[in-house]
Amino acid sequence: MLGSSNRFGGFRARRVVVKARFVKLAGKGAKAAVAHMRYLQRDGTTRDGERGTLYAADQDIADGKAFLERGAGDRHQFRFIVAPEDGAEYPDLKPLVRRWMNQVEQDLGTRLDWVAVDHFNTGHPHSHVLVRGVDDRGQDLIIAREYISRGLAGRAAELVNLDLGPRTDREIFIARQREITQERFTTIDRKLLLAHEPDGLVSAWHRDGVEQGLRAARLGTLERMGLAIEGGRGRYRLADDLEATLRAMGRRGDIIATMHEQLKRRTPEVPPHDYAIYDPAEGKPLIGRVVARGLADEHRDRHYMIVAATDGRSHYVELGARSLGETLEQLEIVAVKPVVPAVREADRTIAAVAADNDGIYNVEGHLRHDPSATQRFAEAHVRRLEALRRRDGVAERRLDGSWTIAPDHLDRVLASEQRVAIARPVEIELLSEQPLDKLTRHDGVTWLDERQQGDATEKLERGFGAELRKALALRRQWLIEQGLAWEEGDAVHFKPGLIETLRQRELRQVAGQLSKELGLDYAEHRGGPIEGIYRKPVQVGSSKFALIEKSREFTLVPWRPVLEKQVGRYVSGIQRGGSISWTFGRQRTGPEIGGF
């Protein structure tokens, strides 16, 4: 029988939370599935802090690579997180998960290909189950919405209640007593909000003595927290934002607990009062060393990062919804920048053109509206509209290629940007893949050099800030040894063109290594036309260059995204200002693609 069934029912039943997710594997989904599998088996997830181990219905050690290979042609994959409220009572979750999956197979009428891993790295032991999106006949596996929302958790709860029995009076009382002092929204709070009297006050009185004692004690706690005011005779007025405030406090408490758990294993000297939660709304960037990364919400793939910043504190940074591939890259020193929702100038131009053109935007209308605009400039606005359409339907494209622009277009755009900021509240800029001590004597441009050249007025007194101050001093000493800086009293002066000098030194070193590997001479690009076969991108310090090969020599020029799909093809370019305009193929008069 499908659905949510619980033979014990009521408040004595033991609860199980099951989160289900449907993941498409087409496109980047397959790569993301590999990263997800790797993440689930990471270190520190077992009771002993060891690496998580996959298992299956009949295997204690399952082959994750083989599982993904079997599902390489699947349209989708199901991911379940099974979290019994009393999971800590189980010495091993494998038998429970296997019995549960066996019951799911019976309910769905098909054998399932699945693997699972148990995690004990949080206060609530839980299991991750990955299920291939095909049934035992090789057809797409379809699971009814009702079964996903109710049946899965119902079946798991039945098994847990059979194993552990209904909750006893003592277990229920102890659990509710713990709620009295908790800084989060509790079941007692929910009942208090439902017990408002006509005058808006809440009374601790209840016909059940135990319940009355719990309410009275909780109301006293809320009063001390400033969320309730006593109105006399055991009656209280609750704060209007009580639920929102308590939920925010609970979230903050969870974050602090996460930071404490992560930092005590990596940097035990960091005291709790140096914990901070980064708030993008303040609009301030953050610079520091990445200490830890993880999933804030394993079900929705919302990630976090802990950054030891230049102010000496450790900051919890909510990264939002990102693929695991984006967060598992080698990161050492980063800049965290807030995503500030805003209407772009292009959006304002689109709205102005449409206002002059009966609510329609097209390239022709743009050129009439602004005679100084070029075709390419107008087409960039079309690309902006297409991006907005794909994101959430802000703009409507007509059959003739023009666009219908609503009168409140700018409001819609701003709302769209706000949704983006919620999903991805920050941008991460990689400053260095190497730790500070590797940068102090690096023969090339480093982040330290760029910081030395800037206006660094921030005090660097403790933690990572103190480490940075020491590294900057060592770097200055190395630059003096190299004749690239000199001391004058207490001041250090840097040779003009320091950054470019260091960049060219490193570029020549890399070019020398490539020359030996390729058996070709290196020709330094000094401006003018560029032509040859684009072979590959080359990383030089923090910059990326394109290797362009001619018959007996090669050159390195700044790489641009337009080259990404041109490996092995003939390319030609003309340097204009600070960028290169590229054409592809041997037709010198072909379409020009700017250096974006």
* CATH top class, domain 345-423: mainly alpha
Query: Which residues are paired to 82 by β-bridges?
Result: 18, 127
In the chain, the amino acid numbered 355 is A
β-pairing, 521-522 vs 553-558, is parallel
**What's the rounded Cα separation, in Å, for the pair 481 and 258?**
45
Q: What is the pTM of this model?
A: 0.75
DSSP label at residue 10: S
Alpha helices (H) along 187-241: 187-194, 209-224
Q: At what angle do helices 375-392 and 409-423 cross, to 10 degrees?
A: 60
Q: How far apart are CA 462 and CA 240, in angstroms?
A: 41
Rg (CA), the chain: 30
Which two structure tokens, joined as six digits, stand for 331? 């990161």
Terminal Cα-to-Cα distance of the chain (whole angstroms): 58
Neighbours of 534 (CB within 10 A): 24
Which pLDDT does position 454 carry in this prediction? 58
The predicted-structure confidence for 232-265, as pLDDT tens digits, reads as follows 888 999 999 999 999 999 999 989 888 887 887 6
Query: How much is the pLDDT for 595?
Result: 42
Task: Check residue 401 and give left, alpha or beta (phi > 0: left; psi -120 to 50: alpha).
Answer: left
Q: What is the pLDDT of residue 511?
A: 93
pLDDT for the residue 325: 54
* pLDDT at residue 453, as a whole number: 64
> Which DSSP helix (H) or strand (E) runs through 337?
strand 333-338
Res 10: pLDDT: 55
CA quadruple 63, 65, 69, 72: dihedral sign: positive
Q: Are 560 and 579 in contact (CB under 8 A)?
A: yes
- Tell me which residues of the chain have a pLDDT lower than 70: 1-11, 43-44, 123, 265-270, 272, 298-301, 322-330, 453-458, 577-578, 586-596
Calculate helix-pair angle for 209-224, 187-194, nearest 10 degrees.
Answer: 100
pLDDT tens for each residue of 342-377: 999 999 999 999 999 999 999 999 999 999 999 989
pLDDT of residue 594: 43
Q: What is residue 59's predicted lDDT score, i.e. its pLDDT?
A: 93
Q: HEC profile for 69-108?
A: HHCCCCCEEEEEEEEECCHHHCCCCHHHHHHHHHHHHHHH
The token pair that represents 285 in the structure block = 């960037």
| Among the listed residues 271, 304, 303, 308, the one whose alpha carbon sits nearest the alpha carbon of residue 288 | 308
Q: Is 277 in contact with 270 (CB distance < 8 Å)?
A: no
CATH topology of domain 16-164: BirA Bifunctional Protein; domain 2 (3.30.930)
The CATH class for the domain spanning 268-338 reads: mainly beta
Q: Where are the domains of the chain?
A: 16-164, 171-240, 268-338, 345-423, 434-495, 501-584
The two tokens of residue 5 are 């069934």
